[in-house]
Amino acid sequence: MKSAYLLLALLLLISGCDSGVKSPDTDSSLERVKKAGVLRWGADVIGGIPYVYEAPDHPGTYIGFEMDIAKSIAQSLGVKQELVIKAWDTLIPELQRESFDMAMNGIEDTEERSNIVHFSDPYYLYTQQITVRKDTQGIMSLDDLKGKKVATLSGSAAEDILRGIPEIDVSINPEIIYSYQDLEENKVDAVVLDTPIAIAYGAGNPKLKNVGKPFGEGHYVIAFRGADNALSDAVNQALIKLKQNGELGKIYKKWGIMNDQQQKAGIK
């Protein structure tokens, strides 16, 4: 009887090995996308200039430099792209819930996120930029923000930087536009956010101005679920192609975000 129980236990152990845990050989993520004929990507369009946002003259149509990148990646994979709109600070949880295949929305390659999801190769080098009201004097650097109230986006690299300086009173908002609205309305003394955002909402606002030199360089990456290596590898190959054929540089020039950082990264 004892030997029979041991044999039964062994059979159960063997059958349990096929419990649905994916190995690299069973990664069907790329096959899934190609079979569906569509690459679904998550992004937030509220205050999304120049990433992805609703076209002012065509309601329901979305434009931006990340929309152009998504279209180019999808074309390289032989499928169509489909934007899935979610709040920015929910993109990673929604990715894990399989609401879409990948998340691309100015997502910074922070160490905290790298422990949760898998990153693509970088597609843009960003820096941080300080924005103040037009009449503000005496703020030109991070040190100048000590003792000040500073707004930024929840979950951003800028938030991490600001929270690392105890003397700064950090004000967090769930959407980009609220930080700049608070600045206009004198609720905060400054805003710190990524340079592409500051160009759109700081330099583009007659009541505000960007000050000081950019700082805090980092990378934008596309986020994937940890098991989706085949898909992320294919997207990486598409990004390499876009860099080499000059398409990525054309997209950045089109949206006014081409700069020295991108040229140093080999994007022309």
Q: How many domains does the chain have?
A: 2
150 and 132 both lie in a single domain: yes
213 and 87 both lie in a single domain: no
118 and 40 both lie in a single domain: yes
Q: What does the pLDDT read at residue 8?
A: 36
For 169-206, letters b (16+ CB in 10 Å) and e give: ebbbbebbebbbbbbeeeebbbbbbbbbbbbbbbeebe
Residue 17 lies in a domain: no
115 and 244 both lie in a single domain: yes
37 and 114 both lie in a single domain: yes
Cβ contacts of 190 within 8 Å, gap of 6 or more = 130, 131, 132, 136, 139, 145, 148, 150, 151, 183
Residue 165 lies in a domain: yes
Q: What does the pLDDT read at residue 260?
A: 85
Residue 171's Cα: distance from chain center in Å? 21
Q: How far is CA 186 from CA 128, 190, 208, 227, in A?
A: 21, 9, 11, 46
Strand partners, 81: 39
CA separation for the pair 34, 202 (Å, rounded) = 40
68 and 92 both lie in a single domain: yes
CA separation for the pair 221, 121 (Å, rounded) = 6
CA separation for the pair 145, 155 (Å, rounded) = 20
3-state secondary structure of 147: coil
CA separation for the pair 117, 115 (Å, rounded) = 6
Residue 18 lies in a domain: no
Residues of the domain holding 156: 126-218
> Region 88-107: what's the mean pLDDT?
96
pTM: 0.85
162 and 212 both lie in a single domain: yes
CA separation for the pair 196, 227 (Å, rounded) = 31
We report the CATH number of the domain holding residue 183 as: 3.40.190.10
| Least confident piece of the model among 57-61, 110-114, 187-191, 254-258 | 110-114
The crossing angle, in degrees rounded to 10, of helices 65-77 and 29-36 is: 100
Residue 24 lies in a domain: no
Residue 159 lies in a domain: yes
Place of tokens 């062994």: 10
Place of tokens 């000590």: 146
37 and 87 both lie in a single domain: yes
Reported in sequence order, the residue ranges of 64-183 that DSSP labels E, i.e. its strands, are 80-85, 102-103, 118-119, 124-133, 149-153, 169-173
Residue 5 lies in a domain: no
178 and 237 both lie in a single domain: no
Q: How far is CA 227 from CA 12, 25, 42, in A?
A: 26, 11, 18
For the segment 112-134, what is each residue's pLDDT rounded down to a tens digit? 888 999 999 999 999 999 999 99
Q: What does the pLDDT read at residue 25?
A: 59
Q: What does the pLDDT read at residue 263?
A: 83
> Region 155-174: what's the mean pLDDT?
95
Residue 21 lies in a domain: no
Residue 12 lies in a domain: no
3-state secondary structure of 170: strand
157 and 201 both lie in a single domain: yes
112 and 130 both lie in a single domain: no
53 and 161 both lie in a single domain: no
Instruction: Return the HEC string of 48-83.
Output: CCCCCEECCCCCCCEECHHHHHHHHHHHHHCCEEEE
